[in-house]
């Protein structure tokens, strides 16, 4: 009798272990400290609101701080795939961190949902999908407004890293097609606390408009510097600046700034016909109920959308394999490439085998800072 009880106990333990191994495990690397923490913290705030199950399977989430450091991002990604055996990697919101993480994901044949517009060489993004809109998509919206305003010349002040360089490349290509010229280019590091010299050169060039490529609260410093150097033209910011930190830090200096964004940031101002309005409002209501009115931002929206994607693709993948297996990881990638039109708070995604960006050129929304708040242009 004792032997039978022991066998039963062992069987129960084995079944319990099997059930634990079947949990869907998500590894998330975010800059909770460092220069891009203003992007990572809101994303992590939204992750705390994620459901604990998907399609009846328990979800286990591991969030690690990459401190806006590519080396840390790679270290986190390697821990996810080797120690934690994750089913999917998410992050980072910092482009210079997300890019090297993609190499780890590809080698481990594990999907990476990047929370930044990470540009990878052709053929190197087979396992990486992006939650944000591409810089090219956002440049399309930005150039559209510049044309309406009669802008012919633009000065560029942006990060020296991958985010800054990819924006310069994509913006210049779109500008050239529309008769707009980049006439002055200056760069700075994310860790820089002053851009006085660069701002002086750009103000002296006196272009019709200025494009600043920075992120979170860090986007306010170069903006203020350009204004303080006497520049009177129009100033544009990218979707990495679509946060109230820009207004909180920049104050009156950023009044009148134009910022390109995904639709989630201005959910209530979207027309009823906009496909994302209902989803965007649901995101805003959930997030601001916990974190306060006006706390919404681009990056929390990406984390919200990541779970919408998971809730769609996990049931598809479960038909082929169990979590914790190589087959399940491959099934997740297949599901993302075949999930079809998927409405999220930041637009409409439609990833395919040949397109891991997914958003159409009409996705970007142009905002203007008016009296310390966002107004759709």
40-86 pLDDT, tens digit each: 999 999 999 999 999 999 999 999 999 999 999 999 999 999 999 99
10 pLDDT band (50/70/90 cuts)? very low
Tokens of 336: 């993302």
For residue 132, pLDDT beyond 90: yes
Q: What is the pLDDT of residue 360?
A: 87
Percent of the chain with pLDDT over 90: 91
Q: Which residues pair with 347 in a beta bridge?
A: 344
Q: What is the pLDDT of residue 20?
A: 43
The C-alpha angle with vertex 99 and arms to 93 and 105, in degrees rounded to 5, equals 100
Q: CATH 3.40.50.2300 spans which residues of the chain? A: 2-133+294-349, 135-261
Compute the CA torsion angle 256, 257, 262, 266 (nearest 10 deg): -30
Per-residue pLDDT tens over the stretch 294-303: 999 999 999 9
Backbone φ and ψ for 185, nearest 5 degrees, come out as: -135, 125
Q: What is the mean pLDDT of residues 117-123?
A: 91
CATH architecture of 2-133+294-349: 3-Layer(aba) Sandwich (3.40)
For residue 155, pLDDT beyond 90: yes
Q: What is the pTM of this model?
A: 0.88
Count Cβ atoms below 10 Å from residue 330 Cβ, excluding itself: 17
Backbone φ and ψ for 146, nearest 5 degrees, come out as: -60, -40
148 pLDDT band (50/70/90 cuts)? very high
8 pLDDT band (50/70/90 cuts)? very low
For residue 16, pLDDT beyond 90: no
169 CB-contact burial (10 Å; exposed 0-12 / middle 13-18 / buried 19+): middle
CATH fold group of domain 135-261:
Rossmann fold (3.40.50)
Q: What is the pLDDT of residue 5?
A: 39
Q: What is the mean pLDDT of residues 262-271?
A: 93
For residue 18, pLDDT beyond 50: no
Max intra-chain CA distance, the chain: 91
């Amino acid at each position: 009798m004792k032997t039978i009880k022991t066998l039963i106990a062992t069987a129960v333990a084995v079944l319990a272990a099997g059930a634990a191994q079947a949990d869907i495990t998500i590894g998330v690397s975010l800059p909770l400290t460092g220069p891009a923490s203003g992007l990572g913290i809101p994303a992590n705030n939204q992750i705390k609101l994620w459901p604990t199950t998907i399609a009846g399977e328990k979800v286990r989430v591991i969030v690690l701080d990459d401190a806006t450091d590519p080396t840390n991002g790679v270290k986190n990604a390697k821990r996810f795939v080797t120690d934690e055996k994750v089913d999917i990697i998410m992050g980072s919101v910092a482009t210079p961190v997300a890019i090297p993480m993609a190499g780890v994901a590809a080698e481990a044949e594990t999907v990476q949902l990047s929370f930044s517009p990470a540009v990878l060489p052709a053929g190197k993004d087979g396992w990486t999908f992006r939650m944000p809109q591409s810089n090219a998509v956002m440049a399309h919206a930005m150039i559209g407004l510049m044309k309406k305003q009669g802008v012919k010349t633009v000065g560029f002040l942006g990060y020296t890293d991958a985010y800054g360089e990819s924006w310069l490349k994509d913006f210049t290509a779109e500008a050239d097609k529309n008769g707009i010229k980049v006439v002055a280019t200056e760069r700075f590091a994310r860790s820089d606390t002053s851009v006085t010299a660069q701002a002086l050169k750009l103000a002296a060039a006196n272009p019709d408009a200025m494009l600043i490529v920075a992120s979170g609260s860090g986007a306010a410093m170069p903006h203020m510097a350009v204004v303080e150097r006497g520049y009177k033209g129009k100033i544009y910011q990218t979707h990495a600046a679509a946060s109230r930190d820009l207004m909180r830090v920049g104050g009156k200096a950023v009044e009148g700034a134009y910022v390109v964004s995904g639709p989630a940031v201005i959910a209530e101002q979207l027309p009823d016909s906009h496909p994302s309005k209902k989803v965007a409002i649901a995101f805003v209501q959930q997030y601001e109920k916990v974190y306060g009115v006006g706390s919404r931002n681009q990056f929390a929206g990406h984390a919200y959308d990541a779970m919408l994607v998971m809730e769609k693709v996990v049931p598809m993948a479960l038909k082929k394999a169990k979590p914790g297996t190589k087959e399940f990881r491959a099934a997740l990638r297949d599901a993302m490439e075949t999930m079809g039109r998927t409405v999220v708070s930041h637009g409409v995604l439609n990833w395919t085998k040949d397109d891991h960006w997914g958003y159409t050129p009409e996705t970007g929304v142009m905002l203007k800072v008016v009296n310390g708040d966002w107004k759709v242009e």
